[in-house]
Structure 1
Amino acid sequence: MKVLIIIAHPDKRSLNHAILKSTVDYLKEKDHEVKVTDLYEQQWKAGVDSKDFLDKEDGARLFAMRDSGTAYLSGMLSEDIKAEQAKVDWADIIVFQFPMWWYSMPALMKGWVDRVFTKEFSYTGEKMFNTAPLAGKKAFIVSTVGVPRGSYTTGQLGDINDVFFPIQQGTFALIGFQTLPPIIGYMADSRKSNCFGEITQEIRDRFENIDTVEPLKTSSGYTPSE
């Protein structure tokens, strides 16, 4: 099994990095292949601009989606984007690990999505969802939050899958990933919780049973406009 983990957390001493180390050690122990993209360590450029597309003429108007597809097809994407796309092509499973900030992923990770999932590489005008170029790969979120589990079930914050709908449906499902349920570490900021032990065990269980985990029921219908 080939696993790509993309992590966005600014502190190597964090709970997230401890979880990452545990996951990587476990996967290697089980003889799986694993690659890690540490966005803060790489000082990832979050914003899309004309420098991403090496065939773009200076001063020409930028059409980000269209230009990304043209640059991908001509092999003229910037080298950092090419390197990440190669990792995605290589992987069977892609894990997006991050602390939840304001109901979403940190800005660097959103910037990774914006820049790496270019047109033609991850979707086309005619191919999305089950027919997208990356269809068949599996993906899921590993995230930490500072509140109890009940806050995202019976509490005021909403169901966790509703919170992550823009990511799980608007990104993962749209580009063809089989979207597995997210793994959440609750009460991440509390010294009284067993967040580390619980989430690392859940991650291990996930990989042990990866072939039988039921994907989320995401909408896959898409009719391209004429």
Structure 2
Amino acid sequence: MKHLVVVAHPVEDSFTMGLMRAYTNELEKLGHTQRTCDLYRIGFNPALTPRELMPASAREPVCVDVALAQDEIGAADVIALIYPLWWMSMPAMMKGYIDRVFARGFAYESSQGVVHGLLGGKKAVLITCSGAPLPLLVKSGNWNAVQVLQDTHIFRSTGFELIDHLHFDEIAPSLPESAAAQHMERIRSFARQHFYGS
């Protein structure tokens, strides 16, 4: 299978980036091909332009960076997004990627408020982390909001089959090395669980 892994974290040796490396290495060990799109390192511009909001029939051709990103999605069987939750949402860099790349006419069409996804036949995986414990997020209703806005509203509504949303909680700068190692094994196991023999 062909995987596109999109990751957003400004610090290259962060826990988030470590998750990305463990995940992509395991995919390759399983015999899959993967392409990593590291939004910060490539300098992706997250700012949606006025012309990108024009109807497809009225605007000029898609910007080169967006066209490349859409081609990468088109070529992939599975897309994985890896990012930390900041203020219970994705980083602005990742949100800008979604705003610009998951555009009307490419990822969806809508009529009278009803969205029709255009990316059917593809699978998606979400991998997130937070400082807050997951039980606290669930109890407060924040986790439900994440699932509604990110899992359902973005990915399922554009046609993806969302395989899973893997979340790592209580991630802090003081995270012991032993705990970090357990988390890295967890994401490798996740890759084996979903993609062994695929």
Q: Same fold (TM over 0.5)?
A: yes
Deviation, structure 1 residue 81:
0.3
User: Is residue 21 of structure 2 the alignment partner of residue 15 of structure 1?
Assistant: no
Pair 1:208-2:192 in alignment: yes
Q: Which residue of 139, 158, 170 maps to 1:175?
A: 158
Q: Does 1:37 align with 2:21?
A: no
Structure 2 residue matching 1:181: 3-state secondary structure: strand
Partner of 1:111: 96
Tell which has more relative contact order, 1 or 2 (C-alpha 8 A, sep 6+): 2
Q: Identify the residue that residue 168 of structure 2 maps to in structure 1.
A: 185
Indicate which of 128, 144, 148 corresponds to 1:165. Answer: 148
Alignment of 1:127-146 (within 5 A): 128-129=115-116, 132-146=117-131
Question: TM-score, normalised to structure 1's length?
Answer: 0.76
Q: Rate the CA distance shift 1:149–1:118 in 2: closer, same or farther, 3 A.
A: closer
Q: In the alignment, which residue of structure 2 is the partner of 1:197?
A: 181
Higher Cα Rg: structure 1 or 2?
1
What is the CA deviation profile of residues 77-122 of structure 1, one whole-angstrom value per residue up to 9, with x for unaligned ones? 0100010001100111111111100111000110000100111111
Give the distance between the partners of 1:101 and 1:20, measured in 2 at CA: 18
| Correspondence 1:57-136 to 2 at 5 A | 64=53, 66-67=54-55, 69-70=56-57, 76-125=61-110, 128-129=115-116, 132-136=117-121
Letter in 1 for 2:9: H
Per-residue deviation, residues 49-72 of structure 1 (Å, max 9, x unmatched): 1465xxxxxxxxxxx1x43x3378
**What is the alpha-carbon distance in structure 1 between the residues aligned to residue 145 and residue 178 of structure 2?**
25
C-alpha distance after superposition, 1:24-80 (max 9, x if no partner) = 21111121110111111111111111465xxxxxxxxxxx1x43x3378x7x10100
Q: Could you tell me which residue of structure 2 aligns to residue 55 of structure 1? A: none
Percent identity between matched residues is 26
Matched to 1:44, the amino acid is F
On the 8 A contact 2:79/2:123 being kept in 1, the answer is yes
Change over 3 Å in CA distance of 1:102–1:195 after alignment to 2? farther
Residues 196-205 or 27-36, more deviating: 196-205
- SS of 1:210's partner is helix
SS in 2 for 1:11: coil
Cα separation, 1, equivalents of 2:156 and 2:131: 27
* Consecutive unaligned residues in structure 1, runs of 5 or more: 53-63, 213-226
2:57 is matched by which residue type in structure 1? T
How many residues matched?
193
**Secondary structure of the corresponding residue to residue 163 of structure 1:** helix
Q: C-alpha separation between the residues in 2 aligned to 1:93 and 1:113?
A: 16
**Secondary structure in structure 2 of the residue aligned to 1:87:** helix
* Unaligned segments of structure 2, at least 5 residues: none
Tell me which protein shows more strand as a share of its residues.
2
More helix by share: 2
- CA distance in 1 between counterparts of 2:190 and 2:95 reads 24
Aligned-residue offset at 1:13: 1.3
* Whole-angstrom distance in 1 between the partners of 2:58 and 2:179: 43
